[in-house]
Structure 1
Amino acid sequence: MTNETKSWEATCKICKSKIRGTNGVTSNYNRHAKDFHPSEYESWQEQLQSISLTDQKKNTDTITFHKVKHSSSSRYSTIHPRQVELQKSIVENLIIELGLPLSLIERSGFITFMSNVDPK
């Protein structure tokens, strides 16, 4: 991620193309997969849709959203190298590679997990 534009790029694991995006936005990556790798994209969409509505509702009902309380001085700045590294890893490995929804980062279990991974 560059400090000036708060944008970054990832490498497509299928064709090795560089895909640029803005921090926190995955539409460029989804569009790339849909336009250049339609069969892989369709397979990914089918996997996402195979989750039953009952399971989705159950997960939504049991999720409680909360904010991890830290003083602002104890948190990384948005341009701190560790913060950038964590964000990039989450997007590349969890969102793009595993196809998990971006909303994952709002779930209490994920927030708790990340506070254990890096308390700051």
Structure 2
Amino acid sequence: MAGKNWKQYFDFSAIEKNRTNGLCKLCHRNYKDKSGVFSNFLKHLKRQHPLEYNRVFNSEYEYFTEDRNGIEDAHEPIDLTNIKEKENRIILSITKNLIIRCNLPLNLVEKPAFRDFMKECSLKYRPVSAKRLKHDIIPSLKSIVLTRIHEKLDTTDHVTLTVDIWSDRRCRSFI
């Protein structure tokens, strides 16, 4: 959240040991946090003033959901306070960024170290299975991408393709 948006809801003042004091303009409660860190103020706004929280974060939603390599979420801006939808966003991010873009194996999500890491990142994270990724999530992303490719090809007059053929040590050929 930008600094001017925070000042809309809090009066900030510096206190000892590199800390910031913030007085909520809506309910006149005092909160403290490290300088440059706004997590306590964010939690207060989210819990005590959800309408203002939604107003601020719905206007900044476009910044957090930039399209990468043509794969984006196929739904409208959502309220991040809803745990189920936040969980789905985490699972989609794991699939798009780790499994697809980094080319990591599907069983990554079932390894204990990865699950521990995700528990550290999000306490309410419920693990997803490789089977669900393989049968539900990746096919839905694939259909979105295929639809975009078909739309693009429908509007294109000429297409140039390059095919690379190679073989392994046993002389099996691959395209």
TM-score by length of 1: 0.39
**Which structure has the greater CA radius of gyration?**
2
More helix by share: 1
Which structure has more RCO (C-alpha within 8 Å, separation ≥ 6)? 1
TM-score by length of 2: 0.27
